[in-house]
């Protein structure tokens, strides 16, 4: 049988329902070894299997070179990883971003100039979609009950939240995360932290 590539499967220390094991494939041993070294595995002891021509190699788990910028250094790093891992990492980043993209009850006061300016400035940032001020225009809430303003969270959320915002954030991040992109939408540090948390340590 003809050798087609290489396969490596591992489990995090603490397994959970989200991830019980992860597999990556590569057409060359050199690329597989780069992945192992970059992700905390020892190439000489890792249980890398040979993939023959009668076995399927999942495209989503096939290694490709992805390019990451860094918060700490002015350079681009080449990282061997696969689409399945990237999707989980990007989703985790989107979850974290979405949980912080709220201005709070003050966002209802669209008639106040400073909140209007803040909203417009934030709209100019990449991968930013503030959940609440997009529904608080400059005139639409003049008739709101005063108590809604006083109490703030969680009372205003029922009519101030923009449910489409998170979808836009997720879609934009995922669209920019393919290996063919010049640089990934997240930093190397974010990738390393989330990969370690999910794929190495696990969340049991």
- Same domain assignment for residues 160 and 184: no
Number of domains composing the chain = 2
Q: What range does the domain containing 76 cover?
A: 3-85+176-201
Among 194, 177, 200, 184, which Cα is nearest to 78's? Answer: 184
β-strands 64-68, 48-52: how paired?
unpaired
Residue in the structure block whose two tokens are 């990449």: 126
Is there a domain that residue 93 lies in?
no
Report d(CA 163, CA 8) in Å as an integer.
Answer: 39
pLDDT of residue 87: 94
- How crowded is the C-beta side of 109, counted as CA atoms within 13 Å? 14
- Say if residue 65 is in the same domain as residue 103: no
Using alpha carbons, list the distances in angstroms from residue 91 to 73, 155, 167, 171, 194: 25, 28, 11, 10, 10
Residues 19 and 51 in one domain: yes
In a domain, residue 110? The reply is: yes
Residue 73 lies in a domain: yes
Show Cβ contacts of residue 75 under 8 Å, excluding neighbours closer than 6 positions.
Answer: 69
Residues in the chain: 204
Would residue 64 count as lying in a domain? Answer: yes
Residue 90 forms part of a structural domain: no
Tell me: do 9 and 75 sit in the same domain: yes
Extract the tokens encoding 99. Answer: 């949980």
Residue 16: per-residue pLDDT: 62
Residue 159 sits in the same domain as residue 122? yes
pLDDT interval class at 203 (50, 70, 90)? confident
Same domain, 125 and 147: yes
Q: What confidence category does residue 109 fall into, taking pLDDT thresholds of 50, 70 and 90?
A: low
Q: How many CA atoms lie within 13 A of 36 on its CB side?
A: 21
104 and 75 both lie in a single domain? no
Quick: pLDDT tens for 24-67. Answer: 999 999 999 999 999 999 999 999 999 998 778 999 999 999 99
Same domain, 193 and 129: no
| pLDDT of 68 higher than 80 | yes
The answer to whether residues 11 and 72 belong to one domain is yes
Residue 114 has pLDDT above 90, yes or no: no
Do 160 and 195 fall into the same domain? no
Q: What is the DSSP letter of 46?
A: S
In angstroms, the CA 184 to CA 70 distance is 10
Residues 190, 163 share a domain: no
Find where tokens 């640089």 sit. 183
pLDDT at 148: 45
pLDDT in tens, 116-170: 776 677 666 665 666 655 444 444 444 444 444 444 444 444 444 455 566 777 7
- 80 and 53 co-located in one domain: yes
Quote the Cα angle for 185-188-192, to 5°.
120
Residue 92, domain member (yes or no):
no
Q: pLDDT: is 20 or 5 the higher one? A: 5
Across residues 9-35, what is the average pLDDT? 88
């Amino acid at each position: 049988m003809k050798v087609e590539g290489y396969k490596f499967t591992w489990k995090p220390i603490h397994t959970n329902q989200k991830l019980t094991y992860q597999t990556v494939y590569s057409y060359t041993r050199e690329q597989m070894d780069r992945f192992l070294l970059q992700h905390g595995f020892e190439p000489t002891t890792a249980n890398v299997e040979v993939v023959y021509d009668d076995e399927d190699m999942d495209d989503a788990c096939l290694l490709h070179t992805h390019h990451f910028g860094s918060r700490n250094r002015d350079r681009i790093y080449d990282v061997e990883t696969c689409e399945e891992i990237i999707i989980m990492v990007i989703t985790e980043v989107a979850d974290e971003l979405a949980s912080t993209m709220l201005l709070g009850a003050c966002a209802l006061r669209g008639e106040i100039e400073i909140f209007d300016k803040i909203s417009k400035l934030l709209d100019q940032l990449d991968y930013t979609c503030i959940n609440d001020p997009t529904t608080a225009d400059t005139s639409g809430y003049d008739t709101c009950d005063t108590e809604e303003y006083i109490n703030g969270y969680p009372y205003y959320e029922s009519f101030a939240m923009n449910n489409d915002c998170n979808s836009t954030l997720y879609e934009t991040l995922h669209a920019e995360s393919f290996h063919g992109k010049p640089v990934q939408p997240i930093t190397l540090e974010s990738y390393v932290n989330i990969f370690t948390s999910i794929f190495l340590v696990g969340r049991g």
